[in-house]
């Protein structure tokens, strides 16, 4: 008997439950939190559905909708051309499909973010994780778990802004540069509204995760959830953004494959 192929083994694992599919995607509704920029800048749209027909005289046997949404609303994928540093690089439709399936390292800073919503991950934190778990996956994602997905029910709690601006955790400028320019990673995934920390507008450079990652032909995933269900190492992430031609990003269904004993 020939040995089963890798794909056959994968299908068998999915059917038998030894491989679990974890949905990392937040539901997309009109109440999904969106980033809020200063009033002088253009603003992203909240998600809206417009009913076309629903088993009625507009269409007796079918239900469907038009929808309106910002590219960067809800769980979404940031393409390199999203930022000025990557303006000559791939749009979201040009991202190679093979780069949409990749391993992931999950770093947990939930306790730190609960104590300090402005907590910043430093390179030393990542190095400490590597010392315990092994090297970061080549061509993989760094997924930053902070517990922020628990706030996704509320625009106010999720953005967590006061008169000084938003307060959400993220990477320090130096860590963002290191991830983009020195690490073997393909991108950064977060539970917050954007890949940058809430204070990122005041960093040098401003919004360093966007600036460094996009300029290095790397990607972002935002507003993820269920990272608590993932192991520190060993899972595989499937990121499926809409392939919008010339688009700077797109809402995405993001899944993780996890081996269970």
Residues carrying an active site annotation:
82
Q: Which value, to the nearest 10 degrees, does the dihedral of the CA atoms of residues 149, 152, 154, 155 take?
A: 100
Helix axes 173-181, 123-133, angle to 10 degrees: 50
Helical H segments across the chain, by residue range: 6-16, 110-115, 123-133, 155-159, 173-181, 208-215
Question: Across-strand partners of 64?
Answer: 53
Say if CB 48 and CB 249 are below 8 A apart.
no
> Any residues with CB less than 8 A from the CB of 21 and at least 6 apart, and which?
14, 255, 256, 257, 258
Give the integer Cα–Cα distance in Å for 256 and 261. 16
Question: Which residue in this structure is represented by tokens 């990652």?
Answer: 213
Cα–Cα distances (Å) from 1 to 8, 16, 136, 224, in that order, read 14, 21, 37, 43
């Amino acid at each position: 008997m020939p040995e089963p192929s890798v794909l056959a083994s994968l299908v068998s694992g999915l059917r038998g439950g030894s491989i679990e599919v974890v949905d990392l995607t937040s539901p997309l509704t009109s109440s999904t939190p969106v980033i809020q920029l200063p009033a002088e800048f253009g603003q992203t749209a909240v998600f809206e559905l417009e009913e076309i027909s629903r088993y009625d005289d507009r269409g007796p046997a079918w239900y469907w909708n038009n929808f309106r949404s910002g590219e960067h609303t809800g769980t979404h994928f940031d393409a390199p051309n999203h930022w000025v540093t990557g303006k000559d690089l791939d749009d979201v439709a040009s991202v190679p499909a093979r780069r949409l399936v990749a391993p992931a390292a999950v770093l947990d800073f939930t306790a730190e973010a609960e104590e300090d919503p402005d907590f910043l991950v430093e390179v030393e934190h990542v190095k400490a994780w590597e010392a315990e778990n092994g090297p970061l996956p080549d061509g993989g994602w760094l997924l930053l778990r902070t517990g922020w997905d628990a706030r996704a029910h509320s625009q106010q709690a999720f953005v967590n802004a006061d008169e000084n601006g938003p307060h959400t955790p993220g990477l320090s400028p130096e860590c963002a540069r290191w991830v983009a320019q020195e690490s073997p990673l393909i991108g950064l995934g977060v539970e917050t509204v954007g890949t940058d920390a809430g204070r990122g507008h005041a960093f040098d450079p401003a919004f360093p995760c966007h600036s460094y990652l996009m300029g290095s032909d790397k990607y972002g995933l935002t507003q993820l959830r269920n990272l608590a269900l993932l192991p520190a190492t060993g899972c595989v992430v499937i990121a499926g953004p809409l392939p919008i031609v010339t688009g700077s990003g797109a809402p995405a269904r993001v899944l993780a494959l996890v081996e269970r004993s």
